[in-house]
Chain A
Amino acid sequence: MRSLWLLTKKNLKLLIRSKSSGLVIFLAPLLIILILGLSYSSSSNYGLNIGIHADSFTEDVDSLISSLQEQEFRIIKYESDVEECIEDIKQGFIHTCVSVPQDLKVEDNQQKEITFYIDPSEINLVWMIQETLGSKFNLKSQEISKQLTGEIINQLDDTKNKVSEKSSELNQVKEKSSAASSSVTSLKENIENIDLEVPIIVYDAGIVNSFKNKLSSEVEDSINAVSNARNDVENAEIEGGNGAILNSLNDAEKNLNKLLAMVEGNNSGYGEISSLVSSLQHDLIQAQTKLMSASETMSSTSSSLDSTTASIQDSLTAMTVVQQGLEEIKSNLESQKVTEVDTIAAPLVTKIERISPESSFLNYSFPGLLVLVVMFSSLLLGTTLVMMEKNSPAFFRNYFLPLQKGTFIISTYLTNSIITIIQIVIILGVSLLFLKGNPLVMLPVAGMLLISSTVFTLMGMTIGYVFRSEETGTLASISLGSFLLFVSGLILPLESISANIRKITNFNPFVISEKVIREIFIFKAPVQTIWTDILTLLGYALILFVAIIVIDILIHKHFKERFNKHRHKENRHKEKIEKNNA
């Protein structure tokens, strides 16, 4: 136990006495936790770049955009073509594309469809987008649903008011109808009370006799006149003779005599008429009496009917008003266009569209895994090779070789690259067994991996040049790799970290490499779409190369000084011991 403790104590001492080890041991965890803390402690919302596509950006769409912007989402509008929006997802400019209808108001029974275009290879981001935006659109849907329900309730309320209002009209109709009914009843009674029996009354026939006498007198006068006329005619010299006229006058005299005979006769003509007139006179008197009575009844009935007509007229008016009210209610109810339960309950429906063909999870995570493997192997290999050279006994001899500093650095890089190429060939070769796809796609992927490995190798080499012991260098490489991995979005989505740190992580070579390889591998992106990222990586490589040369110059100087100083001290110490011994 004691020996175990002694050994442990010795190890701790050795670690602490090496300044760089001490720094890495204590500062690396502090630094990592500090950076991760700063990165993920943000309570702000996800920093998603959302492309909104709509045929036109109406007030509704703008209001939706504003509500998304309130949550710190960065919104990019696409008015022209949804394809442009999808292309930008592939290029990583935006995280998702949401195609919304220009009008979110639900006016018919059709649900409004909102389509999300997502990149399924961004596995952890997909769920996050679905979760955050889905909830946002659910809210919007609830809002619209609430609005629709509100409209229905308002209309029902209006209907209720109108029905209450028209109910009084109906009471009036009821009263008026009741009045009309009683009027009609009264009329019926009145009509029933009319007496149509004819009373027997005797009329005066003297009038007819008087008429007969006058007529007889007149006829006799007329006969005399005709006789006088005939005499005149007979006396008169009439050219062509008076025969014809005399004949006519004779005829007229005869007829008048006949008429006189009829008026004077008892059994025919006058007698019959006289009796008839008498009976008529009698009947007429009776009819007159009854009609007088009926007239009175009718007069009172007419007045009842007038009042009934007025009541009915009032009822008709009231009925018209009620009818209008009902028409209004009907049109009010008809104005509620959304009547489908589904549409009211969920006016907005979301639809998810993948922007790449559906594949296995391995396909989606393959770019990330590739970069992960290449990053760690390159970082560690870079560090190890530099450390091997630095700690090699031959390191001192290299100072005397007529070679430029860059030659050593490039040779280390080339060694790394050869090993990395072999690794890449193996990884991609084996991957072809699991990933169904065009093997030719692997060529640009391999090229890109080589560029990525260049950056990571140079990073590893920088660590190798900075740190003194191999253990410390390895620890630093692993720490750096872990850090780059943590802020790459492979484990935790980048969009969940604070905005400022997120901006910096966009420059993370892991993020750039993974993005480019994903674009090549999944979207078959052409070079012109990824060249800026490639240039960025090459820029990193150049900067790191220059940094290594600078560090190498400083380290060489430092190494020489340290080498001699250390040796000088060692010798002084040796000398002291020798003196003491002497």
Chain B
Amino acid sequence: MKLIELKGVVKRFGKVIVLDDVNLSIEEGDVIGVIGTSGSGKTTLLNLISGFLHPSSGKVLHSFHVTQGQVSMQKNLHKIKDKIGFAPQHNSFYPKLTVVENMLHFGQLYGLKKETIVNNVDSLLHATKLHHHRNKLAQHLSGGMQKRLDISCSLVHKPKILILDEPTDDLDPILQREIMSFLKEVNKQGVTLVIASHNLDLLEKICNKIAIVHNGKVKDCGLISDFRRPFLKEHFTINLNVSDNKEKILSYINNLHVSKIIDKGHHIVVYPHNAAQTISSLLNIIDEEDLYDIDIRRPSLGDIFERITMEES
């Protein structure tokens, strides 16, 4: 069931068109990753989905209330605020309140019964592993804890959809994984997730759908598998770990039929036009050039995104 649908949405700030003709559907239970370069309009898209911003033209529809069908979000925002959770890029809670005070404060303002709120808070504290820090002032928490608290505050009223803007930004890889695994748990409990992030690897792990925002347009939106399919044959990447003979290998690869070579120091990523031919050619020089580590990967989300945005550019 479509929870939220954007139809021909245009968003302008003054004369600048930030988003143009956006069509996007968010179905119940989805985990949608919104990816795009910086300034591509990801946050604006999230703000439109959350109702924080209203479109300059077009429609944002929701169907949180099944009996009513799809209705305009703008006109019914006050009725569906309890269905939406939003975790902005920067933490949004009161630093001078404790963890539990923050959660109770926001939970109670959603008009839920105290018992329900207390239960929600308890379960969230355990899920986010913040229960040991429940009485600490929020400003005294570490960055990862603060991010978890922020997400908890967005979830305390048990929304149907949780929108997250860069939830792993500025976090170390361990914390990033922790956050993502937590979100996975949240999704399992039936919460639809919309996540904007630059961390495509992590997104790839939890998202079932991707929306690529580029130059103010949502280029594509769909299942990751559907995205990957067109690139599977031609957009394998060959990763080579090289040692001292990197220049020689690079000149060799340059003579092959490849679309792109990325030099990462001791690591070279090759985008072949024809994976089979390129691999065959590389296998020929394994011995003489001492290529000790070759692997072939299907295109990652990053690869796909890069390809799409490059093509567009």
Contacts and interface: CB of A to CB of B under 8 A. Distances in A.
Contacts of A396: 88, 90, 92
Contacts of A402: 78, 81-82, 109-111
Contacts of B199: none
B38 A575 contact: yes
A401 interface: yes
B18 interface: yes
B39 interface: yes
B13 A564 contact: yes
B268 to A, nearest CB: 17
Max chain B Cβ within 10 angstroms of own Cβ: one of A393, A560, A574:
A393
A335 B18 CA distance: 103
A535 to B, nearest CB: 33
A157 to B, nearest CB: 93
A571 B84 CA distance: 26
Contacts, number: 76
Contacts of A571: 38-40, 43
Given A394-B94, A397-B86, A574 B39 contact: yes
B1 interface: no
B52 A568 contact: no
B64 interface: no
A349 B263 CA distance: 108
Interface in A503-558: none
A95 B154 CA distance: 62
A582 to B, nearest CB: 11
A3 interface: no
Given A393-B90, A393-B91, A578-B38, A565 B109 contact: no
Nearest to A578: B38
B84 to A, nearest CB: 6
Interface in A369-413: 392-397, 399-403
Contacts of B110: 401-402
Interface in A104-143: none
B25 interface: no
Contact of B44 (A399, A564, A569, A578): A564
A561 B93 CA distance: 21
Given A568-B44, A571-B38, A400 B53 contact: no
A148 B44 CA distance: 92
Contacts of A560: 47, 52-53
Contacts of A569: 39
A397 B106 contact: yes
Interface in B1-44: 13-14, 16, 18, 37-41, 43-44
A466 B85 CA distance: 29
B50 interface: yes
A559 to B, nearest CB: 10
B78 A564 contact: no
A113 B95 CA distance: 72
Contact of A401 (B14, B47, B106): B106
A394 B150 CA distance: 10
Contacts of A561: 13
A574 B81 contact: no
A567 B81 contact: no
Contacts of A572: 38-39
B153 interface: yes
Nearest to A396: B92
A271 B85 CA distance: 189
Contacts of B111: 402
Question: Which size class do A's interface residues fall under?
Answer: 20 to 34
Interface of A is mostly: helix
A529 B18 CA distance: 61
Contacts of B47: 560, 564
Nearest to B109: A401
Nearest to B90: A393
Nearest to B96: A392
A18 B250 CA distance: 53
A473 to B, nearest CB: 19
Contacts of B84: 400
Contacts of A394: 92-94, 102
Contacts of A567: 43
Nearest to A577: B38
Contact of A393 (B18, B81, B92): B92
Interface in B241-285: none
Given A393-B90, A402-B78, A568-B18, A575 B53 contact: no
A136 to B, nearest CB: 62
Nearest to B165: A567
Given A402-B78, A565-B14, A571-B38, A393 B93 contact: yes
Contact of A564 (B43, B50, B102): B43
Chain B CB within 10 Å, residue with most, of A392, A571, A575:
A571
A287 to B, nearest CB: 156
A221 to B, nearest CB: 183
A574 B102 CA distance: 32
B39 A400 contact: no
A571 B14 CA distance: 17
Nearest to B80: A402
Contacts of B86: 397, 400
A572 B102 CA distance: 34
Nearest to A392: B94
Nearest to B79: A402
Contacts of A401: 81, 106, 109-110
Contacts of B95: 392-393
Contacts of A400: 50, 52, 81, 84-86
B4 to A, nearest CB: 15
A376 to B, nearest CB: 25
6 contacts: A392-B95, A393-B90, A395-B92, A397-B106, A399-B52, A569-B39
Given A400-B86, A564-B13, A568-B39, 14 more contacts: A392-B94, A394-B94, A395-B92, A397-B86, A400-B52, A401-B109, A402-B110, A560-B53, A565-B13, A568-B41, A571-B39, A572-B38, A575-B37, A575-B38
Interface of A: 392-397, 399-403, 560-561, 564-565, 567-575, 578
8 tightest Cβ-Cβ pairs between the two chains A and B: A571-B39, A402-B81, A397-B92, A571-B38, A572-B39, A574-B38, A575-B38, A396-B92
